[in-house]
Amino acid sequence: MKPLLSVIAFNREKETEITIRSLYQTGAMDEAEVWVVDNNSSDGTADMLMGLVAEGIIKDRQTTLMMQNMGCPKALNWVLAKRRPGQHFIKVDNDVRFLTPGWVGKMTKFLADYPTAAMVSPWYSELEDSNQGRLIARHGTWDRYWPVVGHCCIHSGELLDQVGFFDVLVFDHLYGFEDLLMCHRAGYLGYICAVMREVKCEMIQRHNSLDVGRKAGQTEGRREHIDRLRPLYEKRIGQVKRGNYYTDSEGKTT
């Protein structure tokens, strides 16, 4: 069974096109069930995506243009709802260039070879920055990390069968913490997070997202958004520690 793969886009027209073309060039379109969701971009991203459909790079029926920005976690869950039991899921941000041909198959095989690994990332140079996770141990061609930041991450079907969906911390949760919370849920269930050094990608956009200020017309900047969500993130970690791992398709816990 092919993994389910999602690219959630909001603006970043140029970066999104590079991401999707690199998926095509490295064989991911054949090795995965690829869904592209545009979260009502205000630049030319939607038109660019329709151009890629016309080229045959992405499939029309698996390319969705939302009428509003529902935020990344909700969009991820919209795609994740299509997952079949046992099916792996790959989260891809829209600012990643893939460099390794056949990387989807390599990561899928890694999950089969190492069943204790539930979340696996390719290697990228920013991993040398401690803000991108902490190296726990080296094992041959792969490293154990904590956490795995979700620029690109394959989640095992075994993990998702147990934990469900990504957490939506508040109704207007646009970005932040959904990948970290998934790492915590995996960790408390006894799984590990890993980075494959033989699978490489690069970040097209290099900046600290928290340093991006408020744009014209916005009532809240990125740092303010993250700061508002942080107490809810910490509360959810407390729930995970008490054994509440499951999140439903709306991003809610019981």
Of 24 and 150, which is predicted with more confidence? 24
Give 45's contacts (C-beta < 8 A, 6+ positions apart): 9, 10, 11, 12, 13, 16, 38
Least reliable range by pLDDT among 24-38, 143-157, 195-209: 195-209
For residues 73-84, average pLDDT = 97
The confidence score (pLDDT) of residue 141 equals: 92
Domain boundaries, the chain: 4-253
pLDDT at 215 > cutoff 80: no
- In angstroms and rounded to an integer, the radius of gyration of the C-alpha atoms of the chain is 17
94-119, pLDDT tens digit by residue?
999 999 999 999 999 999 999 999 99
pLDDT at 251 > cutoff 90: yes
35-52, pLDDT tens digit by residue?
999 999 999 999 999 999
Longest dimension (CA), the chain: 50
β-strands 192-203, 117-123: how paired? parallel
The confidence score (pLDDT) of residue 222 equals: 84
**What percent of the chain has pLDDT above 90?**
79
The pTM for the full model equals 0.92
Whole-angstrom distance, CA of residue 210 vs CA of residue 138? 30
160-206, pLDDT tens digit by residue?
999 999 999 999 999 889 999 999 999 999 999 999 999 999 998 75
Q: If we measure between CA atoms, which residue out of 17, 82, 95, 75 comes closest to residue 50?
A: 17
Question: Please, which pLDDT band fits residue 244 given cuts at 50, 70 and 90?
Answer: very high
What token pair was written down for 20? 């999707």
Whole-angstrom distance, CA of residue 169 vs CA of residue 182? 13
Q: May I ask the CATH class of domain 4-253?
A: alpha beta
